[in-house]
Amino acid sequence: MKQSIFLMIPIKISSGKAALLLCCLGFFLFWQSVQAGKISLEDDIADGYLDDYTKIEAAFILSGISDADSLPGYLDWYNQLLITIRGLHLDYNDPVVSARTVFLYLHSAWLKTYAEESTTLIDIVQRKEYNCVSATILYNLICEELGWSSQAFETPTHVYTIFDHLQYRLMVENTSTMGFDILNNLKAYSQYLARYYSQSEVLRIGLDRLYLHENSKGRVISNTELLGLLAYNRAYLARKNNDFRKAYDLVLLAQQFNRDSRSNIRFEIGLYYNWGKQLYEGQDYSAAFGVFADGYYRYPDNRDFRKNTLTSFYRAMEANWQKKDWPESARLIDEIEALNILQNQDRHNIRQMLMNWLHDMNRNEDASTRQPIQKYLERFGD
């Protein structure tokens, strides 16, 4: 993710406030030094948890901010928003009313226009446009800052806010001003949902059952998993622009946040297939193998992924033999063995390849490689 987006936030400082300017500059330099010591977001989330980054930092980075000079401006916007919200005279003894107040404020001030592709926090900051993912992320993280434990509910097509620890279980639809506590306004909300279905689908499902239909295949996710949906949606937009490599990289990152996304299964499968096919047709067989192997690992019941993984493996091994690239061949053998995909004939084929490598090394008197090949032959012995 190398995209850089710059946000210019003017700061008015009078001539008598030089000390304040120096203080701000000092904080900025301190913040940069802290950031310099951080690991990458990809490394931080590798175990499924954020340790070095806050959720709001991760949200802006996943939104496309990768420049250290840009991120402080967006974080300042968020912190100023928190200050404003805390000044709304919230009644912390009545968190339901207070959560409604925050919800309505966001819709009056920042969530102005629903736009399907406005999936990042940048869209909210710069244009006040949002979709269900960006609005739910902003609302949930603010509520978390205020001490109200929130989660999200992900369906194959949508995402909501869930509060399980207020006075009662409360669900919030963030794309409509009427969406707070939707179960108490289900009739009106069903009418709202109907606009996203064809008339025949509404008749088949039943207007009063649209909400249940929406949620029948969903699951509760944490706010960290929710951030993964942002990366998924950006991957979708990259795929729409035929930028397969960027889409694939974003999907791999998204999976680190949300490893069981219900709303992206069809998209993932299509991306694995089309990107792998494009790499294969471009004769980048090792890369194609990597994509199809990832697809097979995620969806082991998909026969096409199994077939394409093996096909690209053999073509990659052939190309590596032509280039005499033993280290790459060894890497591919390790990876395909780890997939537990090989049948007896495949293991026999690999043994024959290894014998060819061994003969080649003997002919060239390359003793350093003969021993590793012997160990592989033992693994693939008859």
Torsion of Cα atoms, 320 then 324 then 326 then 328, to 10°: -40
Residue-wise pLDDT tens digits, 269-324: 999 999 999 999 999 999 999 999 999 999 999 999 999 999 999 999 999 999 99
Tell me if residue 131 falls in helix, strand or coil.
coil
The model's pTM is: 0.81
- Local structure of 183: helix, strand or coil: helix
* Distant-in-sequence, close-in-space partners of 168: CB < 8 Å, separation ≥ 6: 96
Placement of tokens 């806050």 in the chain:
54
**Whose CA is closest to 214, among 270, 262, 174, 166?**
262
> Token pair for residue 303?
């026969």
Handedness of CA 33, 10, 231, 170 (dihedral sign): positive
Cα–Cα–Cα angle for 180, 61, 79, nearest 5°? Answer: 60
Nearest Cα to Cα of residue 160 among 235, 211, 104: 211
Determine the pLDDT at residue 263.
82
**Separation CA 62–CA 253 (nearest Å):** 9
DSSP state letter for 180: B
Q: What's the pLDDT at 37?
A: 54
What's the angle, vertex CA 330, arms to CA 325 and CA 332, rounded to 5? 100
CA–CA gap between residue 186 and residue 194 (Å, rounded): 12
| Mean residue pLDDT across the chain | 87
**Interatomic CA distance for residues 78 and 60, integer angstroms:** 10
The pLDDT of residue 191:
82
Q: What is the torsion angle, in degrees rounded to the nearest 10, for the CA atoms of residue 295, residue 346, residue 337 and residue 352?
A: -130
- pLDDT for the residue 7: 34
Place of tokens 């009106």: 188
Which candidate, 218, 183, 213, 181, places its Cα nearest to that of 196?
Answer: 213
pLDDT number for residue 18: 41
Q: Are 331 and 299 in contact (CB under 8 A)?
A: no
What is residue 108's predicted lDDT score, i.e. its pLDDT?
97
Q: What backbone torsions phi and psi does residue 364 show, to the nearest 5 degrees?
A: -95, 5
**What number of CA atoms fall less than 13 Å from residue 16's CA on the CB side?**
0
Q: Torsion angle of alpha carbons 42, 47, 53, 54, nearest 10°?
A: 130
How do 151-154 and 219-221 pair as beta strands? antiparallel
Which residues is 129 bridged to in the sheet? Answer: 113
Contact 102, 85 (CB under 8 A): yes
Supply the pLDDT for residue 382: 57
Q: What is the pLDDT along the chain (382 residues), one digit of tens a residue?
A: 333 322 323 333 333 334 333 334 443 443 343 455 577 999 999 998 999 999 999 999 999 997 777 899 999 999 999 999 999 989 988 999 999 999 999 999 999 999 999 999 999 999 999 999 999 999 999 999 999 999 999 988 889 999 987 777 899 999 988 889 988 878 877 887 788 788 999 999 998 888 888 777 789 999 999 999 999 999 999 999 999 999 999 999 999 999 888 788 999 999 999 999 999 999 999 999 999 999 999 999 999 999 999 999 999 999 999 999 999 999 999 999 999 999 999 999 999 999 999 998 888 776 677 788 888 998 887 5
Nearest C-alpha neighbor of 7 from the set 122, 121, 141, 131: 122
